[in-house]
A = this chain, B = another copy of it.
Amino acid sequence: MTTLTRRYRFASSHRLHSPKLSEEENCQTYGKCNNPWGHGHDYVLEVTVGGPVHPGTGRVVSPALLDGYVRENVLEAFDHRDMNRDIAAFAERVPTAENIAAVIRQMLERGWSSVFNGAVLHRIRIEETRRNSVELRNE
Contacts and interface: CB of A to CB of B under 8 A. Distances in A.
A110 interface: no
A42 B60 CA distance: 21
Classify the secondary structure of A's interface with B. Answer: mixed
A118 interface: no
Contacts of A82: 13, 35, 37-39
Interface residues on A, range: 35 or more
17 contacts: A3-B134, A3-B135, A4-B98, A4-B134, A6-B131, A7-B131, A11-B39, A13-B40, A13-B82, A16-B58, A20-B56, A29-B62, A32-B80, A35-B80, A37-B82, A39-B40, A53-B98
